[in-house]
Structure 1
């Protein structure tokens, strides 16, 4: 089911071609920090939660290196970051579900020099993904797949309402007018745009767009307040017109 939905919905499996080695430990240099490396899965997030809640010292920070993973596990991860008011430090990469639900959940995010932060879609993406053009999504999905999408849409909507961040951060780079300018796998935004979307992200040095091996991975969009407002208005109108499951509720 998950692999099918990854293909069909272009869901958030991360930008790495091979599974990342997983580890979650208390930082040996700081008893108040957890270091999480690897894919976001239900089991991995459960290990993080166990370490967080059972730590003899108060955990205040999370250092993360993840190309993404499962969407519901990512949402649970983000809820924990938000609940415990964790400071988040992006080490090498935070992409896909990590960007959607971890980088958005903290009021204090720092991306280390050379670290990559990028989005490539979310629960709202079916209204923009080319695979769904010219046909109603409900006619393209099986019942199980449509149920998955409906649950994902509701869970993501509730999550972004809770953390008070604009949900469209996950799909702006897929919108008409920007999608045709895309030239990288992931997209992000300049710091002024991130702030307007409700995010609190600081960079050590310039925003990185290339991986350590030199591959161009993240495209940075710089959007004026006027352009961003126009995109958000257009997005709201599209949601209203589409009336696809929970999407008809707007954001």
Structure 2
């Protein structure tokens, strides 16, 4: 239930099952950098937190490869990135909960050449842009979604990033133009939404096998303002 990869909320089915085995490494040659590779879940994030606490040197940088995972663990990981003011480097991929809560939490993010970054929804998706009426969900699921939305809203208020970054690609006018499981935005739009990202090269959109899996939306300031206004109006109707 806790995963952004749930069929009821997601379009990137099966991503979690393809993630590499988890590893957490502090390179002795780069003792200020911690490497996180694999799924985001409570145990892995707890190991990350413990790794920072037990390090003999101050950790200032995080290198991450993750397709996402547990949303509350993702928020916790983002909070740790924010608290420790970590520089973040995306090595191969950062999607789903990784994109939602890790790259948004840092003021210094670098996306390596050919690395993928992509969103495909968040807590607001089932509330505002889901394909089904929320009343059709079970009481337990509704309570979970509302708890998730509250935690996500507090997180984005803290890191000063517009929560809409997670769901703009789900909005009418953009969703119908999308033909990939993940979406991202041009650098001007990312900056306007509050993110601080540098790309070593142009944004990657293709998997290693050449499949296009990330669609980049290039939005003029006028279009972005219109979308955000529509988004706020939907929020006010909740």
Asked if 1 retains the 8 angstrom alpha-carbon contact of 2:24 and 2:36, the reply is: yes
Indicate yes or no: 2:214 matched with 1:218. yes
In structure 2, distance between residues paired with 1:2 and 1:188 = 23
Query: How far 1:147 sits from its partner (Å)?
Result: 1.2
In structure 2, distance between residues paired with 1:11 and 1:78 = 23
The equivalences for 1:85-234 within 5 A come to 85-126=85-126, 127-130=128-131, 132=132, 135=133, 137=134, 139-234=135-230
In structure 1, distance between residues paired with 2:164 and 2:3 = 24
In structure 1, distance between residues paired with 2:118 and 2:4 = 23
Give secondary structure in 2 for the equivalent of 1:49.
Answer: helix
In structure 2, distance between residues paired with 1:155 and 1:37 = 24
Quick one: structure 1 residues 156 and 8, their matched pair in 2 at CA, closer, same or farther if it must change by over 3 Å? same
Q: Deviations over 1:198-235 (max 9, x none)?
A: 00000001110001221111100010110000000001
Quick one: structure 1 residues 13 and 201, their matched pair in 2 at CA, closer, same or farther if it must change by over 3 Å? farther
Q: Tell me which moved more, 139-148 or 176-185.
A: 139-148
Unaligned runs of 5+ in 1: 244-251
In the superposition, the TM-score normalised over structure 1's length comes to 0.90
Asked if 2 retains the 8 angstrom alpha-carbon contact of 1:12 and 1:71, the reply is: no
In structure 2, distance between residues paired with 1:198 and 1:3 = 25
- Count of aligned positions: 237
In structure 2, distance between residues paired with 1:156 and 1:214 = 33
Give secondary structure in 1 for the equivalent of 2:6.
Answer: helix
In structure 1, distance between residues paired with 2:170 and 2:122 = 10
